[in-house]
Amino acid sequence: MKKIVASMKIALRALEVNRTRSALTMLGIIIGVAAVIAMVAVGAGATARIQEQIQSIGSNLIIVLPGSISSNGVRLGSGAVVTLSEDDAKAIAAECPSVSAVAPAVRGGVQVVYGNNNWATTAQGVTPDYMTIRDYTMMSGQFFTDQDVDAAAKVAVLGETVAQNLFGDSDPTGQVVIIKNVPFTVAGVLTPKGQSPTGQDQDDIILLPISTAKGKVLGTNQANAKAVGSLMVQAIGPQAMDEAQQEMESLLRERHRILPGLEDDFTIRNLTEVFAAQETSAHVMSILLGAIASVSLIVGGIGIMNIMLVSVTERTREIGLRQAVGAKTRDILSQFLVEAVTLSLVGGIIGIVVGLVASWLISYFAQWSTVVSPLSIIMAFVFSALVGVFFGYYPARKAAFLDPIEALRYE
Amino acid sequence: MAAVIEIKNLVKDYRVGDMPVHVLKGISFEIEHGDFVAIMGPSGSGKSTLMNILGCLDKPTSGVYMLDGISVGELNRDQLAEIRNRKIGFVFQQFNLLPRTSAVENVELPLMYTDVPARERHERAMKALLSVGLAGREEHQPSQLSGGQQQRVAIARALVNDPRIILADEPTGALDSRTSIEIMAIFQRLNRDHGITMIVVTHDPDVATYANRKIHFKDGRLQLDERIAQPGEAQKDLERLPAEPPEEVAAV
């Protein structure tokens, strides 16, 4: 132990003597460690953002769309049912045990007018269940009720983007907006959700009771007055997702009278699964970024080995002298090993600080969220120490096994 | 007086390519404890090889080398290092001080490889510097010292471990004649007052006159081994010299 302390002192002295060189050698490790920390932080930031977005669309969400995307709505079966309907929604809610809530929805583009302002947005006709399924909360006012749906009341709930554009900072609750010449009373404003995983502004929306939307704004399907654009379904839990999907599929096939062997006239998509795949890819990206940054750490380690080899050659006489006055193999070995590890550790500590600053700068200037994990700091520190040991061992061994006679005579 | 060094039939061969080169061809002698020996001989006579073996830096090909009762030929690398550390002090022609390192730290160096605690290391180094007349220059770096002063730092370094023998390889080779005599005066004092066995390799016959015994080598063999009845007194010779450069006379 005393010996280690002693050789650390010797090492620090030797590094002090060649200050510029030591600093330049450390630079390799500093850049390596900083790169690892910053890149892992960027990757973790991306993952965290995607997780946040997945949270924002609601949990255990399944969406049922009419027709299949590939056949573009062209039915191959001979049934009479054209699309999904409000009755389908009611049937799913009643008959599928793995489903906790169903919300039918219709949507369409509308122009919303308030005073001198107007704003083009998407109107969605929904039921109050939609609020539960999408995990919406109210920033002000109230969501409309089942009574409003039954009565086809002329009430609307605004997304934050719509509210901002029409009302600025004042509270729109209780005000009247005009959609397709129909006046709607604003019942409330939704708490903003930000971007969806696909990059859409989830707050650029206006929610209406589905009955009102069909009757007054978006129009009714001529073939089937109860037709809806989509069904939002919430499963009772993350484990029930597959079951819920199967239950719905068989129920809808039965209701739509699709013969075995024929294609579905609807598409069921597990949204959580879709976005979980995105999360995985973000995670892979962060691992890749970290791996690439690790390469620079290894390059830094080679820099240390290079400088240590130069240093051993330069100090051959010193090594010879130390051997002559009684330094054993392990004394010399530990002296140079400690020197290399000191270089890499000091570089590692500075690199951690630089990495933290870099992560902060990236999130501040590039508006790119970064998450610095304590694990990546510990890993970077340990890894830089290992780099010192690994790349310092060869030069140190070379020094320790020099022949004292030749070393003393070395010019 | 007991022999501190015993050498019997010492042989050292080197291999240069396929050709074996016989550097030492069977040498036997003893050096008694407290003696002051000058080893002389032309270059290529094998005296440097002998010094390396005496200094436990190299091992003989065959023959026996007993240092203070220990058979050196049987020791491994680290055991040799320990023997060097405990029993031998080295003084080199080129001083071999660590650059950018203070005199006192240079002197402490051999103690760094022992269990001596830091405070005691420092005290012993200061004492050794005092005894070679360098009090007040402890914090000077080698580049701030004259050649004679640097060699005295090196002698202090050789002393600090209380060695049985001091091996000096051309200790005056890089010094002017006056400084050479100063160094020899220190050697004589260490030899007489502290009973340290001195072995000095030198080309210079004047330097050799301060020894009690001269051993001449030629072609790897011992050519002449003579006792000097009246060795020179370095301190007196120094006083006789005109007092020219103000470099302080060894504080004897």
Q: Which residues in chain A are contacts of B84 at CB distance < 8 A?
A: 323-326
Q: Are residues A100 and A208 in the same domain?
A: yes
Q: Within 13 Å of residue B252, how many CA atoms lie on the same side as its CB?
A: 21
Question: Residue B67 has which token pair?
Answer: 């240092």
Shortest CA gap B27–chain A (Å): 21
Q: Is B162 on the interface with A (CB under 8 A)?
A: no
Indicate the number of domains in chain A: 2
Residue B57 forms contact with A (CB below 8 Å): yes
Q: Does domain B35-46+87-240 have CATH number 3.40.50.300?
A: yes
CB pairs under 8 A between A and B: 57
Taking alpha carbons only, the member of B217, B230, B196 closest to residue B7 is B217
Give per-residue pLDDT as tens, B25-48: 999 999 999 999 999 988 888 888
Q: Nearest-CA distance from B231 to chain A in Å?
A: 30
**Contact list, B82 vs chain A (CB under 8 Å):** 326, 328
A163 in any annotated domain: yes
A370 shares a domain with A255: no
Which residues from B are below 8 Å from A9, CB to CB?
none
Which residue in the set B52, B85, B96 is minimally distant from A317, CB to CB?
A: B96
Please tell me whether residues A13 and A153 are part of one structural domain.
no
Last residue of a domain, one of A239, A262, A285: A262
Is residue A70 domain-resident? no
- Of A182-186, A257-261, A315-319, B9-13, the poorest mean pLDDT is in A257-261
| pLDDT at position B192 | 92
Q: Examine residue A271 and state whether it is found in any structural domain, yes or no.
A: no
User: In this structure, are A156 and A242 located in the same domain?
Assistant: yes
Q: Please determine, for residue A342, whether its predicted confidence score (pLDDT) is greater than 70.
A: yes
**What are A's interface residues with B at a Cβ cutoff of 8 A?**
2, 6, 10, 13, 17, 317-318, 320-331, 404-405, 408
pLDDT digits (tens, 9 = 90+) for A237-268: 878 888 888 888 888 888 888 888 777 778 88
**What pLDDT digit, counting tens, does each position of B183-236 carry?**
999 999 999 999 999 999 998 898 999 999 999 999 889 999 999 888 888 888
Which chain A residue has the Cα nearest residue B116? A2
For residue B251, pLDDT beyond 80: no
Range of the domain at A19: 2-53+277-409
ipTM score assigned to the predicted complex: 0.91
B115-169: pLDDT as tens digits: 899 899 999 999 999 999 998 999 999 999 999 999 999 999 999 999 999 999 9
The answer to whether residues A157 and A232 belong to one domain is yes
* Euclidean distance between CA atoms A154 and A152, whole angstroms: 7
Both A114 and A218 in a single domain?
Answer: yes
**Averaged confidence pLDDT in chain B:** 90
Residue A270 domain-assigned (yes or no): no
**CB-based burial label for B97 (10 Å; 0-12, 13-18, 19+):** buried
In this prediction, residue B250 has a pLDDT band, given cuts at 50, 70 and 90, of: very low
Lowest mean pLDDT among A55-59, A160-164, A298-302, B177-181: A55-59
Average pLDDT, chain A: 84
Q: Point out the least confidently predicted range of A168-177, A273-282, B121-130, B159-168.
A: A273-282
What residues in B contact A10, CB-CB < 8 Å? 112
pLDDT higher than threshold 80 for residue A58: no
Which residues in chain B are contacts of A404 at CB distance < 8 A? 57
Burial environment of residue A137 by CB neighbours within 10 A (0 to 12, 13 to 18, 19 or more): exposed
> pLDDT grade, residue B244 (50/70/90)?
low
Q: Which of B100, B101, B109 sits opposite A325 (nearest CB)?
A: B109
Q: Which residues of B touch A13 (CB under 8 A)?
A: 101
Q: Are residues A206 and A327 in the same domain?
A: no
Contact at 8 Å (CB) between B41 and B49? no
Encode A169-216 in three state secondary structure: CCCCCCCEEEECCEEEEEEEEECCCCECCCCCECCCEEEEEHHHHHHH
Cα gap B114→A85, rounded to integer Å: 91
Measured torsion, CA atoms of residues A392, A398, A402, A406, in degrees rounded to the nearest 10 = -110
Residue with tokens 């510990």: A378
Contact check, Cβ <8 Å, A324/B115: no
- What is the pLDDT at residue A69? 40
Which of A262, A296, A313 is the last residue before a domain boundary?
A262
Residue ranges per structural domain of chain B: 35-46+87-240
Q: Do A162 and A238 fall into the same domain?
A: yes
Edge-to-edge, what's the strand order for the sheet holding B221-227?
Answer: B88-91, B165-169, B197-201, B36-40, B213-218, B221-227
**Secondary structure letter of residue B97 according to DSSP:** P
Dmax over CA atoms of chain B, in Å, equals: 56
Q: Which tens digit of pLDDT belongs to each residue from B171-182?
A: 998 899 899 999
Residues A201, A249: one domain? yes
Which residue from A minimizes the CA distance to B81? Answer: A326
| Domain identity same for A254 and A283 | no
C-beta of residue B43 within 8 angstroms of C-beta of residue B220: no
Confidence check: pLDDT of A78 > 50: no
Closest Cα to residue A59, out of A240, A266, A198, A312? A240
Predicted TM-score (pTM) of this structure: 0.72
Q: Judge whether A169 lies within some domain.
A: yes
The answer as to whether A249 is a domain residue is: yes
> What digits encode the pLDDT tens for the residues A96-109?
888 888 888 888 88
Q: Does B32 touch chain A (CB under 8 A)?
A: no
* A98 and A225 inside one domain: yes
H-type helices in B88-211, by residue range?
103-112, 118-131, 147-159, 177-194, 205-208
Percent of all residues in chain B with a pLDDT value above 70, rounded to a whole number: 96
The reported pLDDT for the residue numbered B85 is: 94
Output B8-13 pairs: Cβ under 8 A, ≥24 positions apart.
B8/B63, B8/B64, B9/B62, B9/B63, B9/B64, B10/B50, B10/B53, B10/B60, B10/B62, B10/B63, B10/B64, B10/B65, B11/B60, B11/B61, B11/B62, B11/B63, B12/B46, B12/B49, B12/B53, B12/B58, B12/B60, B12/B61, B13/B61
Domain check: are A185 and A241 in the same one?
yes
Which among A214, A236, A262 is the end of a domain? A262
Kindly state whether residue A283 falls inside one of the protein's structural domains.
Answer: yes
